[in-house]
A = this chain, B = another copy of it.
Amino acid sequence: MEKQPDRAEKYRRSVPSPTLEDVATRAGVSTATVSRCLNNPSKVAKTTRERVLEAVRTLGYAPNFGAQALAAKRTNTFGAIIPTMENAIFARGLQAFQEELQRNGITLLVASSSYTPELEEQQIRGLVARGADALLLIGHARAPQVYEFLDDRQVPYVITWTYEDFQSRISIGFDNRKAMKCLAERVISLGHRNIALITSQRKDNDRASHRCEGIQDAMALHGIDPEGLRIVETPYTISNGADAFASLMESDPRPTAVLCGNDVLAAGALLQARKMNLDVPGDVSITGFDDIEIAQIVTPALTTVHVPHREMGKGAARLLLGMRNGQMPTSSTELEAHVVLRDSLGPAPRM
């Protein structure tokens, strides 16, 4: 029997999609059977199953997401909030995250917070309201009420791009402080004493602040006053990196090594060095962080810290998938980041 045309039919903006009921009618079974057929095929007789699937195909049926979410209380959707989509810093990790989720039949929702805590909180609440079953977050730094909210709602989440073993929250990533310290030690061992840092804003950004501390750790370890580290904070763009570098080069004494919080800033610094006719690394060394594509492309190629992007993404997906099935991981996962020596770092020039 055909479905009665709905009273509201003429007001409907769109042609109604086939529903479970349409499929049920066509296959001559109940909606319950169709539902089982789709979610629990083993509990249905083979012959009816085939009949149902046939109807599903010819009707082009696809479940209505809202209804499914409402009834099942789960959406098969995970969310990720990243600081920015503009540069490639998070792209590779996110791609790996996505791939792993897709393999497990779950959809990824991505939101970007523009490095703004308020916006991030809003995005988090938004994704949860939209039924995200689990969340990927970058870094630990956020207001307590955000974590309370997540815990109240029992929404699984993992923190990535950082690893700190004293944290109770589950994270998968690397130790930014240790990694940067490692790089800084290389720099210092090449004779550099006047060191500068170009970084993004450190407030509300634990990756940035830990990287900075890593440098100071290395300095202290080698008898250099950590207070002597000159720091310029600026947003993550190439031209900002260039400007920051220019201002540093005007200071006295000039740094012989400019470490950058990431490769984008470093690329800007490199560009500016060329514009100022400074030889890198002859006159000044420059290093980056992240090891994204541009690090290999610039001239000279950037000495930087290789970050395990894909491992983080895939690992985060695995953790979240497990958590959704009730397996609470007992500890965070530390991945290795390692220094990649290329051409932009050399011995300190003689004074």
Q: Which residues of A contact B (CB under 8 A)?
A: 12-15, 17, 60, 62-70, 73, 75, 77, 84-88, 91-92, 94-95, 98, 107-112, 125-126, 128-131, 149, 152-155, 238, 264, 267, 270-271, 274, 293-294, 296-299
- Output the nearest chain B residue to A152 by Cβ-Cβ distance: B15
B14, B109, B125: which contacts A154 (Cβ < 8 A)? B14
| A69, A77, A91, A130: residue with the most chain B Cβ atoms closer than 10 Å | A130
Q: A17-B153, A297-B271 are in contact. Are A98 and B85 (CB under 8 A)?
A: yes
Beyond the given A15-B154, A238-B293, A274-B299, please list 14 additional residue pairs across the A-B interface where CB-CB is below 8 A. A60-B149, A65-B66, A70-B70, A85-B98, A86-B92, A87-B91, A107-B111, A109-B109, A238-B296, A264-B293, A294-B297, A297-B297, A298-B299, A299-B299
- Output the nearest chain B residue to A88 by Cβ-Cβ distance: B88
Q: A14-B154, A98-B85, A153-B15 are in contact. Are A129 and B63 (CB under 8 A)?
A: yes
**Which B residues touch A66, using CB under 8 A?**
65-70, 75, 131
A119–chain B nearest beta-carbon distance, Å: 9
**Bound state CA distance, A67 and B62, in angstroms?**
18
**Bound state CA distance, A270 and B130, in angstroms?**
45
**Which B residues touch A94, using CB under 8 A?**
85
Is A297 a contact of B267 with CB atoms below 8 Å?
yes
**Bound state CA distance, A128 and B66, in angstroms?**
11
A17–chain B nearest beta-carbon distance, Å: 6
Is A128 a contact of B62 with CB atoms below 8 Å?
yes
- Output the nearest chain B residue to A123 by Cβ-Cβ distance: B107
A171–chain B nearest beta-carbon distance, Å: 22
The 4 tightest CB contacts between A and B, nearest first, are A66-B69, A14-B154, A66-B70, A299-B299
Is A86 a contact of B95 with CB atoms below 8 Å?
yes
B110, B130, B271: which contacts A65 (Cβ < 8 A)? B130
**Bound state CA distance, A330 and B67, in angstroms?**
35
**Which B residues touch A65, using CB under 8 A?**
66, 69, 129-131
**Which B residues touch A293, using CB under 8 A?**
87, 238, 264, 267, 294
